Structures are given as C-alpha cells and as structure tokens.
Amino acid sequence: MNLLSAKNISHSFDYELFSNVSLELMAGESVAIIGMSGSGKSTLLHIFSTLLAPKEGSVRIMDEDIASMSTKRLSEMKRNDLGLVFQAHYLFNGFSAYENLEVAEILSLNSIDMNLLERLGIAQVIEKKVTQLSGGQQQRVSIARVLTKKPKLIFADEPTGNLDKETANEVMQLFFDYCRDESAGMILVTHDNELAHMCQHVYKLENRELVKVA
C-alpha cells in the first residue's frame, strides 16, 4: 500500500528552500532524509506530516489529498494514523511520564505496552514527573507515547538526537521492528549518516533538491 505520495513540492520562506520535491513511501518502508543544517529538512517533514501547506505541489496520505480534506477528517487522521516525533517534543510537564502515555492510550483506545517501555529503557522511571527526567529520557517517553497510538505513518525529526549511540541504535531498531510488524512507514530526518543508512532509502536535501543517494 502507498502510505504517502508527495509530488512536485516547493516551499519558500524568505527565499526558495526547495522545489519539485517528490517522494513515495510504501507500507513497511523507511526513508531517511539527510542534509545540512538549514537546508529545509524539518520544513519538508512539516509539509509531509500535514502541519504546513506547501507553496506548490500535493501530498497524499493513504490515498487522500491533504489539501482537499476537511478539518475534521484531517484531525482524525492526525490523531489515529500519524505519529510525530519532533525535535521539540511536547510532553505535558505537570504530569508523570506514565500519565503522558495514558493520554495516548485514551485518545487511541490502545493500551500501554510495558514491553515497549522496557525496550526503550524507561520502565523504571515511568512514575516520575516529566521535569525530573533527563532530556534523553523525555525523548524516549515521547517516542513511547507516539508508538502507543500505533500510527500508520511515523515522521521523526532527529528522534535520537539526545541519546548516546548505543541507546540511539536500540531506539532505531525499535522503530524498524515497529514498521515491519505493523506494516507502518517512517520518514526519518537526521544528520547522522550511519543512522540514515539503516533505512531502506536515503535522500539528501541539497541545492534545493531532494536527491536519492541510496
């Protein structure tokens, strides 16, 4: 199944960031996007994940054109099918890590998977307040929250940016296993070449173009 199909995307803020960007993502697949700081990777991920409308081009998710979807349908899709793991991860600070996961549990009607928390190495700290966790632990709680929803499509912007290499590799493996087991797709933005090449396809955003490099 085709999870995402982006065609001829262009975007600019003060100047043109990129143009004619096209990308396809099939079920079970992972795609990495690399590129220099400021090249527009996060902007592109915002466009793919429905948060930002492109200046030109179209994005279809699971065969629905985002631009022509109703607000209701769009928020339904965001809640049920899309998993966003971004650089600033919006956990609720007044709550414990576990309470943050309960929010996802309630919204998606899925239950919290203790095995997932074990694999992320956060089972022991799950009762703590978010503010009492390290940056890397907070990042892993936000990953657990996203996966608890069981999204069809994961958009991850430097999801392991706060983690040491060993933990980062374990977390990435978890994402890959998730995509395989749930036939989900992932678009990963990263500076880390090695990490990028763990994905099936690698693209580079350079000179305003998205070029396939592996």
Ligand X SMILES: Nc1ncnc2c1ncn2[C@@H]1O[C@H](COP(=O)(O)OP(=O)(O)OP(=O)(O)O)[C@@H](O)[C@H]1O
Residues near Mg ion (CB under 5 A) are 42
Q: Which of residues 57-86 bind ligand X (CB under 6 A)?
A: none
Closest residue by Cα to residue 182 from 148, 205, 145, 132: 148
Which window, 38-46, 57-65, 71-79, 94-102, contacts ligand X (CB under 6 A)? 38-46
Minimal distance in Å, beta carbon 185 to ligand X? 20
- 43 interface partner picked from Mg ion, ligand X, none, CB below 5 to 8 A per type: ligand X
Question: Which of 21, 29, 43, 117 is close enough to bind ligand X by CB under 6 A?
Answer: 43
Residue 151 interacts with ligand X (CB under 6 A): yes or no: no
Tokens of 66: 């985002």
The answer for residues whose C-beta is within 8 angstroms of residue 99's C-beta and 6 or more apart is 92
Residue 17 interacts with ligand X (CB under 6 A): yes or no: yes
Q: Which is nearer to Mg ion, 42 or 169 (CB)?
A: 42
Residue 190 interacts with ligand X (CB under 6 A): yes or no: no
**Maximum C-alpha span of the chain:** 47
Question: What is the three-state SS of 166-180?
Answer: HHHHHHHHHHHHHHH
Question: Which of 31, 40, 125, 160 is close enough to bind ligand X by CB under 6 A?
Answer: 40
- 37 interface partner picked from ligand X, Mg ion, none, CB below 5 to 8 A per type: ligand X
Question: Which of 2, 10, 19, 42 is close enough to bind ligand X by CB under 6 A?
Answer: 42
Which window, 33-41, 71-79, 140-148, 180-188, contacts ligand X (CB under 6 A)? 33-41
Residue 188 interacts with ligand X (CB under 6 A): yes or no: no
Which window, 36-44, 74-82, 88-96, 106-114, contacts ligand X (CB under 6 A)? 36-44
Q: Which of residues 116-135 bind ligand X (CB under 6 A)?
A: none
Question: Where along the sequence are the contacts to ligand X (CB under 6 A)?
Answer: 13, 17, 35, 37-43
